[in-house]
């Protein structure tokens, strides 16, 4: 794998405490069950995860296919996020694509091969199951008690938009673009796009993205409320590292509680939300990081949070 396809870890962030995870399930093992043309390829990981200094970097690793979601990648993403959720050493997660693109959505070539021989009700059953295979990823991302940052370079297309929108923060290169391209292949969005996008950018802009399938620049998506940070292409690695380091040095437990608080506000009634605010504040106030934060404020110094 070329150096440019790997998550960049600056020397200042490396250390003896760094651990790494490698998922080496044979590429195509699950796709073979679905009749994929990818079956039998050499052993490579569709997903690579490294953990250093509290930052987990999850790299979707199918650059030749613009990181389109294979069945293997879906299984590994769900498994990976589940493991990172339980790993107390992880305080921030960065999700990115290897090579020049974030993710180009589903594996359309695989779908084309399937449709050559499939017919009738079996097609609907196949695609219902295929779409449901995405859902454990979304559930795990929503459940994750640490911030997830989408690092977007190049294309975020189809399910790539869905996955990015499911992250807590999005940092994108100036040249990157977002497109819900489903209409161009004659189908509707999946992967939680219909849940996250209307809440992030409003129903009218979501309708525009869905019905027209046009490309939107990262700056346009920032203006509409989906993207948090737009940076020059050459600075994407450094700016992402800076953001991830800042989050990894923050009050991790507070992040998890804040995520629950903000996301549940989308469904809660007013009274229920205010009750939850009190409960969440109290749960944070009993922690070591709250004591440190209050002491640092009074002593006019920067707090040193441990995530506890």
The answer to whether residue 305 sits within a structural domain is no
* CATH at residue 194: 3.90.226.10
Reported pTM = 0.85
- Could you tell me which residue, 110 or 52, shows the higher pLDDT? 52
306 lies in some domain = no
**270 inside domain:** yes
60-84 residue pLDDT tens: 999 999 999 888 899 999 999 999 9
Whole domain around residue 285: which residue ranges? Answer: 252-298
| Banded model confidence at residue 20, pLDDT cuts 50, 70, 90 | low
Average pLDDT over residues 48-64: 96
Both 223 and 291 in one domain: the answer is no
Q: Flag whether pLDDT at 163 surpasses 50.
A: yes
If asked whether residues 220 and 267 sit together in one domain, one would say: no
- The pLDDT assigned to 112 comes to 78
pLDDT digits (tens, 9 = 90+) for 236-276: 999 999 999 999 999 999 999 999 999 999 999 999 999 99
More confident residue, 8 or 182: 182
Overall average pLDDT of the 168-185 stretch = 96
Q: Say if residue 66 is in the same domain as residue 146.
A: yes
Of the residues 206, 231, 248, the one at which a domain ends: 248
Domain total in the chain: 2
175 and 281 belong to one structural domain: no
Is residue 33 predicted with pLDDT exceeding 60?
Answer: no
Per the model's pLDDT, the better-predicted residue between 68 and 39 turns out to be 68
Residue 307 lies in a domain: no
> What would the DSSP string read from start to end of the chain?
--GGGSPP--GGG--TT-EEEE--PPTTHHHHHTT-TTTTPPS--SEEEEEETTEEEEEE--GGGTT-B-HHHHHHHHHHHHHHHH-TT--EEEEEESTT-SB--B-HHHHHHHHTT--THHHHHHHHHHHHTTHHHHHHHHH-SS-EEEEE-SEEETHHHHHHHHSSEEEEETT-EEE-GGGGGT----TTHHHHHHHHH-HHHHHHHHHH---EEHHHHHHHTS-SEEE-GGGHHHHHHHHHHHHHTS-HHHHHHHHHHHHHTTT--HHHHHHHHHHHHHHHHTSHHHHHHHHHHHTTS-------
């Amino acid at each position: 794998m070329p150096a440019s396809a790997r998550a960049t870890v600056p020397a200042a962030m490396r250390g003896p405490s760094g651990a790494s995870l490698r998922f080496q399930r044979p590429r195509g093992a699950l796709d073979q069950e679905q009749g994929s043309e990818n079956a039998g390829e050499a052993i490579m990981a569709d997903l690579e995860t490294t953990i250093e200094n509290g930052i987990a970097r999850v790299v979707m690793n199918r650059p030749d296919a613009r990181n389109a979601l294979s069945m293997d990648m879906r299984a590994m993403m769900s498994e990976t996020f589940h493991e990172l959720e339980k790993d107390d050493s992880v305080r921030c997660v960065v999700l990115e694509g290897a090579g020049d693109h974030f993710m180009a959505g589903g594996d359309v070539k695989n779908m084309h091969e399937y449709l050559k021989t499939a017919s009738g009700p079996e097609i609907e059953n196949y695609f219902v199951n295929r779409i449901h295979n995405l859902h454990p990823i979304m559930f795990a991302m929503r459940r994750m008690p640490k911030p997830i940052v989408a690092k977007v370079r190049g294309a975020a297309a189809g399910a790539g938009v869905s996955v990015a929108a499911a992250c807590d923060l999005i940092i994108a290169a100036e040249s990157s673009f977002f497109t819900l391209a489903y209409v161009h292949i004659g189908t509707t969005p999946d992967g939680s796009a219909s849940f996250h996008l209307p809440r992030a950018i409003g129903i009218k802009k979501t309708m525009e993205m869905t019905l027209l399938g046009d490309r939107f620049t990262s700056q346009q998506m920032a203006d509409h409320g989906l993207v948090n940070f737009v940076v020059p292409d050459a600075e994407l690695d450094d700016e992402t590292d800076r953001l991830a380091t800042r989050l990894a040095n923050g009050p991790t437990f507070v992040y998890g509680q804040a995520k629950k608080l903000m996301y549940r506000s989308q469904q809660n009634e007013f009274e229920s939300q205010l009750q939850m605010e009190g409960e969440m504040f109290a749960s944070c106030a009993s922690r070591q990081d709250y004591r440190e934060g209050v002491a640092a404020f009074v002593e006019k110094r920067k707090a040193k949070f441990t995530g506890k």
